[in-house]
Chains A and B, each alone.
Chain A
Amino acid sequence: MPEWKQEIRQRLANLMLEPTREAEIVEELAQHLDDRYVELLTSGATEYDASQAALAELSGQEVLERALRPVEQRVNNDPVVLGAARTHMIADLWQDLRYSLRSMHKHAMLSAIVVATLTLGIGISTGVFTYFNAAGLRANVDKDFDSFVKVYSAYTNDPKQPGRPADMTLDDYLAFRGETKSIRMLAASCDFYAPMGDDDPVEVRALLVTANFFSVYDLEQPLMGRLLQPEDEAEANPVVVLSERLWRSRFAADPQIVGKVVRFHGQPVTVVGVTPNFAGMVNNARAWFPYTLDSYLKHGDNLLRPSEAAWLRVTGRLNPGFSYDEAAAELKVLASQQDRLHPGRYSTLTVTNGSAIQDPQDGSNVRLGFSVLVAALLMFVLIVCVNVSALLLSRSAARRHEIGVRIALGAGRMRLIRMLLTETFLLASIAGLASLYLAYHAPGLLDYWLINRSWESAGREYSLAPDWHVFGYLTLITILAGTMAGLTPALQSLKVNLAEMLRGRQSVVGGTRGARFYGLLIGVQIALSFFLLYGAVLFVRTAQKAASFEPGFETRQVLSTDLFVQGSAPGQRNWSAFHRTLADRLSALPGVQSVAYSDVGPFRMGAPSFEVQIQGQAIRQAGINWVSPDFFTTLGIEIVAGRAFLVSDPPSGKSGGPVVVSQRLTSEFWPNESPLGRVFQDREGHKFEVIGVARDVSSTRLGGLDGPMVYQPFDFNSARHANAFVRFSGDRGELSRAVTATVREVAPELTFWMAPQTIQSFREELMVSIWSTAQLIALICAIAVALAVIGIYGVVAFSVNQRTKEIGIRIALGAQKKDIYGAVLGTSGRPVTIGLLIGLVVTVAAWSAIAQLLRNMEFSFDVREAISYAMTAVLLACVALTAMLIPAWRATRVDPMVALREE
């Protein structure tokens, strides 16, 4: 049989096929020619003719080549990885997965550490996100977050100034409830703070609600007795539903509570049921009354008559099949119908899903806080990923031989990267699944830590379970983590000098380039840690300062109480008489030294601001407060120049008049002159004359002095929301009760937001929540820094390992311990220093920006304190040093004989 194969191979040479493929084709074609040859022989041709004829089938040089090129060319690129013959994506993936599992099993310890680290990072990040998702990004209810609806009304007489979205009038509510088709249940509620019991009454936060309130907030079955029914609402039955907390704390879990009569605000009401903890405990409400009991409970002042009073908070559930936009449109139409019944009035309705982030007033703050939070969480994950990268690098070094072989066999770069990334994604997915567990359980812990330690609430009211926001976040983070953690080792693995690698002499570090890369890893971790650690230090120091900062006015011997009037029916009461009567009555109480009023209470968020313009200078912002004449003496704020207000000073309100300013304002506006008698204007051109200067105090924020302040005389006539201050000596508890009783007597329809308490105790309450937050942040930052340090340790230990031979040689040549230390620390120390410097720069820039955004919060962040930066830098340098010292110490113990033998 003639030899065809040579001829065939010749014709295939230019195609540069893979050897196996070429062999196959050659074999097949050779067989064909054999068969042809045999056939021709059988039919009588000579050997020579037969072989010539057979060869003729093969045609000329180019024909076969040209015919095969389009078919075979694409087969060429597939590398011989893992003996695969298929070029299928899914088959590759399956192979990679099986291989990854085997590899994980082989390096079980390392894989476990990687998964644990990733779980820590992803899990903590997701847990925190879940908590804030439940608290801020959706309605605080238990089920069906997508159907919850909250409606805000803004009423105005001037169509150009819509007014603040807030509560709704009773007429509007009843009209909407009757007419709306897009909202299935529309409920109304109103805060109510009532003393319960006869002797020694206890202030109880309650809600006046419609009967469908409980359904809106997902409560169908009470714990005992029944919930409110529509008849209770229609007939104004004097009934009440208590919460379990109240039942346990005030009634000792009396099993016979249903049917008992309890007095609220002096009025008898019958307990008809007890509820478990549920989402309807808005603003910590512990009891629910039918709203039609409003006048019954408040002794007269009747908001139930048709009026302009806007006092109802309206929530509900969407009908299936309707969207928020459709509901908003429908309500808009209904609102304009209502407006026609009240000529001159324009109402604007806002419909949201009830989440904090969509709240028309606070929404922007929540959005801000959330963005900062997400950024911090991402940074945390980043640190974790860099850490994992370092861990994986050490493993990739061990595999360099294997990678070299693969490349020699023709594995494509992309294919290898895919294979390596699959392993990391597998690890990340396992961590992601484990994090899912954390996502379900961590929010409960967070809730306990942050909330329960400052309020006495036990048990959760609304669901903190994760929803698709959380799952989306988790998926994203897992993919991100998998990619970031795996990309670096994958790319590093491919930087190989093939020949050297196969000979076993190449280290993955690859000379200065590699060393610089490790330096980069260390530097990045240090920089990120700097950012987070500084944040922790800042929060802790701010909390400290806030606690210890002397506000500059009397806080312990002054009771403050917020007097809030429901509704705004004008002319219902002679306010001037009310305030003066109240002041007189309060002054008459035993122990009371003086009484004063102001518009804005201390340490509530932000005083309203005011534009001040002085002749010849730019317009500036100042805080403004309206205060009664006794304000400065009651609170102990010294007047350093001029005088305080007198009763005879006309209430300036908006039309100009006398003002007292703070020292800060004078130092900013008239630095070198006496401010007394000076005049400035506001935006509308009203003129104000400075008649006194008060000492600076800290009353709007914790831990820092206020900005420039302008005080105007309190307008006794128009106040519907005022703070009363009572300076006293003696027992605080008794006086608090006496004050409450007095206010109730003078104006039974007023509501207190909280019982009269000293300003100091209010500060302390705020402090507790700040401390909890600060502790939490410190904890998370500590974890991140710990991870970073472990990462640094890993990288340094690894690089020392790589340099074992070099170190062995040095020792053999007579290097001392300190030389070795110098070598190791020198190499690793440089990136640490650079990382610290860069971290410092980045931190200063970033935190200054953040502080600027957060400047309106109730405590002041001082980002210019050098000591905080110094503390952070020193702390970080110390831990980094420790992390480097251990491998360095181990390096000095290298036995040169062993090291050199390790070829």
Chain B
Amino acid sequence: MLHIQSILDRELKKGSAELLILSLVEVRPRHGYEISKLIEARSDGVLRFNVASLYPLLYRLEKRGWILGRWVEKAGQRRRRYYKLTREGRKVLAAQRSGWEEFVAAINRITGVERA
């Protein structure tokens, strides 16, 4: 049971990971650590990304041109790499969002889970 649970969790996480990251940088640019903290915080600890899973994902998204990474040097601090959403990424985010909503609605309809 637990075994299946963890598999399901992994698959779900994989499917939604891109969506998470894209939506988090939608409002303003963020750096990697900030993103991982936000995910943990807003999901109440359900979703956690560690270094080995977060950064490869960020680099992949950057390579696709959906987010853009820049080294930013703020006064008195070391430089950090901030990621922001590109125009292409914005389109992808919108598409993935609506896709995700449809998916969830469909699952709900089938399994009869009503959300209040």
Contact = CB atoms under 8 A, between A and B. Distances in A.
A35 B32 CA distance: 10
Contact of B51 (A58, A70, A71): A58
B16 interface: no
A31 B80 contact: yes
A63 B54 CA distance: 12
A58 B52 contact: yes
Given A57-B50, A58-B51, A59-B50, A68 B33 contact: no
A59 B52 CA distance: 7
A64 B52 contact: yes
Contacts of A75: 63
B63 A28 contact: no
A59 B51 contact: yes
A36 B33 contact: yes
Contacts of A57: 50-52
B56 A71 contact: yes
A474 interface: no
Contact of A71 (B50, B63, B78): B63
Interface string B43-71: 00000001111011001100100000000
B49 to A, nearest CB: 9
Interface in A353-404: none
A115 B102 CA distance: 64
Interface string B24-55: 00000001110010000000000000111101
A31 to B, nearest CB: 6
Interface in A17-73: 24-25, 28-29, 31-33, 35-36, 56-59, 63-64, 67-68, 70-72
A28 B52 contact: no
Interface string A480-497: 000000000000000000
Interface residues of A, number: 21
B51 A64 contact: yes
B59 A71 contact: yes
Contacts of B80: 31
A349 to B, nearest CB: 61
B56 A67 contact: yes
Given A59-B52, A64-B51, A64-B52, A32 B59 contact: no
Interface string A59-94: 100011001101110010000000000000000000
Contacts of A63: 52
Contact of A67 (B32, B52, B78, B81): B52
Given A28-B32, A32-B32, A72 B52 contact: no
Contact of A28 (B36, B50, B55, B60): B55
Contact of A32 (B51, B56, B78): B51
B59 A72 contact: yes
Interface in B68-99: 78, 80-81
B65 to A, nearest CB: 11
Interface residues of B, number: 16
B59 A68 contact: yes
Contacts of A31: 31-33, 78, 80
Nearest to B63: A71
B81 A28 contact: yes
Interface core residue of A28, A64, A72 (most chain B CB under 10 Å) = A28
A67 B53 contact: yes
B14 to A, nearest CB: 12
B52 A32 contact: no
A29 B60 CA distance: 15
Contacts of B32: 28, 31-32
Contacts of A33: 51
A36 to B, nearest CB: 7
B64 to A, nearest CB: 10
A72 B81 CA distance: 17
Contacts of B55: 25, 28-29, 32, 67-68
Nearest to B55: A29
Nearest to A68: B56
A31 B82 CA distance: 12
A32 B80 CA distance: 10
Interface core residue of B51, B59, B80, B81 (most chain A CB under 10 Å) = B51
Contacts of A35: 33
B53 to A, nearest CB: 7
Interface string A592-626: 00000000000000000000000000000000000
Contacts of B59: 25, 68, 71-72
Contacts of B63: 71, 75
Contacts of B53: 67
A57 B80 CA distance: 19
A806 to B, nearest CB: 53
A28 B58 CA distance: 12
Nearest to B54: A32
Nearest to A25: B55
Contacts of A24: 81
A469 to B, nearest CB: 43
Interface string A762-778: 00000000000000000
Interface core residue of B33, B52, B53 (most chain A CB under 10 Å) = B52
Nearest to A8: B51
Contacts of B56: 64, 67-68, 71
Given A25-B55, A67-B53, A32 B36 contact: yes
A29 B36 CA distance: 12
A28 to B, nearest CB: 5
Nearest to A58: B51
Contacts of B60: 70-71
Nearest to B60: A71
A35 B77 CA distance: 13
Contacts of B36: 32
Nearest to A31: B80
A460 B50 CA distance: 83
A431 to B, nearest CB: 39
Interface in A737-793: none
Contacts of B31: 31
Nearest to A11: B52
Nearest to B50: A57
Contacts of A59: 50-52
A35 B35 CA distance: 12
A59 B50 CA distance: 8
Nearest to B59: A71
Interface core residue of B33, B36, B78, B80 (most chain A CB under 10 Å) = B33
Contacts of B81: 24, 28
Nearest to B34: A35
Contacts of B78: 31
Contacts of B33: 31-32, 35-36
A95 B50 CA distance: 40
A626 B36 CA distance: 106
A59 B81 CA distance: 22
Contacts of B51: 29, 32-33, 57-59, 64
A70 B56 CA distance: 9
Interface in A496-521: none
Nearest to B57: A67
A88 to B, nearest CB: 11
A75 to B, nearest CB: 8
A75 B52 CA distance: 19
Contacts of B52: 57-59, 63-64, 67
A63 B32 CA distance: 18
Contacts of A32: 32-33, 36, 51, 55
11 contacts: A29-B55, A35-B33, A57-B52, A58-B50, A58-B52, A59-B51, A59-B52, A63-B52, A67-B52, A68-B56, A75-B63
Interface of B: 31-33, 36, 50-53, 55-56, 59-60, 63, 78, 80-81
The list of the 9 closest CB pairs from A to B, nearest first, reads A67-B56, A59-B52, A35-B33, A64-B52, A57-B50, A57-B51, A63-B52, A71-B59, A32-B33
Given A59-B51, A68-B55, 6 more contacts: A31-B32, A32-B51, A64-B51, A67-B56, A68-B56, A71-B63
Interface of A: 24-25, 28-29, 31-33, 35-36, 56-59, 63-64, 67-68, 70-72, 75
